[in-house]
A and B are shown apart, each in its own frame.
Chain A
């Protein structure tokens, strides 16, 4: 453990810029076809099966995975460009995004060969949506307190219990979930959990919507009543999921989606301020630009390290900590900076609508995918403090 942090100035290579132009052209075409409205933040947070299939057809899902599994063997930096352009355009990527970011990589590492051959190409084609089964009524940040049980049965496992706050469960084809296969031990409280691939269409699984404070049913409760999972759907070591959980974190935590979730309010503010803002607005805007630029440089740098085969867990956690705190504060800063604008401005309504959306979703940004407190604990461990 050390206090030495690494953030080399990674630049995107030339092929990334060719790709960026292709991505922008594709998104422009989708926008003019009416698939989504780039000024509508809600569209970036929605599911569109057909759109995901077209993205898959472009080769932009599973970009870094091996070709035998439908992947395209492109670089982390190329994937980075696609992710950030989609996010900035508010493109509806929810259907495939989780599978692309983390479920696929877990399957690549831990699933048996025939499962990889069967499922990964379908993810790449944009046909499959994945959910993540972590939190339970009695366990959130404390992942290893999970109680939902997998009991050994003939040829597989019987699952009983429930998961909560599960995003995408209402549309998901599969879930990668943590279930208890043994009690924890005195020596290791993290022992006893196993990672499973769950077919969401299997009997014994009920999905109940939970409405978020945004008014949308994006959360779910997923109830398992004797649901059957076959043996070949066990991912990795039985009782040893805790060993598998950390290495993917850098992928999950350092991407552009960790600071661009409320980005849309910033160009809208620039539009509202006009070409000659007053001093207060100019300074406020300049600081936000500098902070955003810094986050992007950090995030690209981590992508470069991932590409180089490193596992920058601490650096990745730092990006998510700083990035989510920033994107959470962004609507509040933009609200202050737009406080004295005249309501008859052309885009005033657009700005107000976007601000309202961003303000309401802001609280979740520092909770989902690892709370600020958990991230800072990981960083502290990396510094050698625990």
Chain B
């Protein structure tokens, strides 16, 4: 349950986003000049390294506080690598590595990508869809040395990146590690594996998705109350009301499942079966909500919502794009389905009702 401290941190984040990353202002700007002052302010406020303990150079915020920041970031459809930097700082901290004070991202960010680390300490492999790769100075990497997992920090300039971008136009790059020497490496803790990182990424995207869905619900309801057609606000028509009620349902589902997943990760000692159910379900259900919810919002807004000028696309395109990061809903559904099947019919309800 969000405590008071989570609210304070989230309110700080909200104030900064409102001042420096207001969706309307950002949408009007035809360059990325707003990004630099925003990042500087976030960094000065200790938000970029929220999940890095103080002894490793960070702000030492709790997991719930960090998730609260990301929920707010979702509400602003924030297009800077804040979530990725938080995640990178968290990953480095798992191995006791210090975090640098510059934008970071993490790899791998998709299920089937593997990065290996040789006996000589060099990284090889390829990671696809690395979010904001081009906009970052460093990548926190989870690598495999054949026996165990290691966590490494690399400079982006040492890697090869393609020109990729996601549906919303944010950088999403294929990063090739062609015998790259990391600046730092250390062993991952026992039991920490590629699935652990992916689950954390899934929970993070779920929380952002729920935030963005909250924002489009509020935008869409406000518009339905203002826009007049057939001599009354369109929100007075039952057909529109029913659609908005469905949107509220999708928002509610996304909020409930993502905050539950975030809480589960914050409370858990390891990424166990219960965390898997929570985080995988969150990614699946929020991705479904993203698709349903964006479609309804666009339907209510009509043509104006389909323009570059309107801010709706900043939310809806990110909602749709985030579905593909850290395992899409089909991937997680197949994995979850396999695990549930392997446990067997009689162990199914006890898993669902375990907390």
Contact with B along A188-201 (1 / 0, CB 8 A): 00000000000000
Evaluate whether A380 and B1 lie within 8 angstroms (CB atoms) in the complex, with A283-B337, A287-B333, A290-B333 already known: no
- Interface extent on A, as a size class? 35 or more
Chain B: residues with Cβ within 8 Å of the partner, total of 58
Q: Does B183 contact A (CB under 8 A)?
A: no
Q: Does A215 contact B (CB under 8 A)?
A: no
B248 x A383 contact (CB < 8 A): yes
One of B37-45, B133-141, B233-241 contacting the partner: B233-241
Q: Which of A298-337 contact B (CB under 8 A)?
A: 298, 301, 314-315, 318, 321-322
Q: Does A292 contact B (CB under 8 A)?
A: yes
Which of A4, A267, A273, A291 touches B285 (beta carbons < 8 Å)? A291
Report B-chain residues with C-beta under 8 Å of the C-beta of A20: 353
- How distant is the Cα of A85 from the Cα of B252 in the complex, in angstroms? 25
Q: Does A145 contact B (CB under 8 A)?
A: no
Contact with A along B341-355 (1 / 0, CB 8 A): 110111011001101
Which of A3, A298, A386 touches B253 (beta carbons < 8 Å)? A298
Q: Does B208 contact A (CB under 8 A)?
A: no
One of B11-19, B90-98, B189-197, B276-284 contacting the partner: B276-284
Which of A274, A285, A322 touches B252 (beta carbons < 8 Å)? A322
Report A-chain residues with C-beta under 8 Å of the C-beta of B342: 275-276
User: Total number of A-B contacts with CB less than 8 angstroms?
Assistant: 185
A270 x B348 contact (CB < 8 A): yes
Report B-chain residues with C-beta under 8 Å of the C-beta of A11: 263, 355
Report B-chain residues with C-beta under 8 Å of the C-beta of A296: 352-353
Q: Does A72 contact B (CB under 8 A)?
A: no
The DSSP consensus for interface residues of chain B is helix
Which of A277, A286, A315, A385 touches B241 (beta carbons < 8 Å)? A385
Q: Does A33 contact B (CB under 8 A)?
A: no
Closest to A337 in B: B337
Q: Does B218 contact A (CB under 8 A)?
A: yes
**Whole-angstrom distance from the CB of A321 to the nearest CB of chain B?**
6
A: residues with CB less than 8 A from B are 3-5, 7-12, 20, 84-85, 88, 266-268, 270-271, 273-277, 279, 281-287, 289-298, 301, 314-315, 318, 321-322, 373, 375-377, 379-380, 382-386
Q: Does B315 contact A (CB under 8 A)?
A: no
Closest to B289 in A: A294
Report A-chain residues with C-beta under 8 Å of the C-beta of B256: 7, 9, 294, 297-298, 301
Report B-chain residues with C-beta under 8 Å of the C-beta of A4: 214, 218
Q: Does B246 contact A (CB under 8 A)?
A: yes
Which of A286, A291, A379 touches B340 (beta carbons < 8 Å)? A286
Evaluate whether A267 and B225 lie within 8 angstroms (CB atoms) in the complex, with A275-B342, A290-B284, A293-B277 already known: no
- How distant is the Cα of A158 from the Cα of B84 in the complex, in angstroms? 70
Which of B244, B281, B340 touches A285 (beta carbons < 8 Å)? B340
- How distant is the Cα of A99 from the Cα of B345 in the complex, in angstroms? 32
**Whole-angstrom distance from the CB of B258 to the nearest CB of chain A?**
9
A7 x B252 contact (CB < 8 A): yes
Q: Does B245 contact A (CB under 8 A)?
A: yes
Evaluate whether A277 and B338 lie within 8 angstroms (CB atoms) in the complex, with A5-B255, A286-B332 already known: yes
Which of A275, A297, A321, A380 touches B257 (beta carbons < 8 Å)? A297
Known: A287-B337, A289-B336. 16 other contacts (CB 8 A): A3-B217, A8-B259, A88-B349, A274-B341, A277-B337, A285-B333, A285-B337, A285-B340, A286-B340, A287-B284, A287-B333, A293-B277, A294-B281, A318-B248, A376-B241, A380-B241
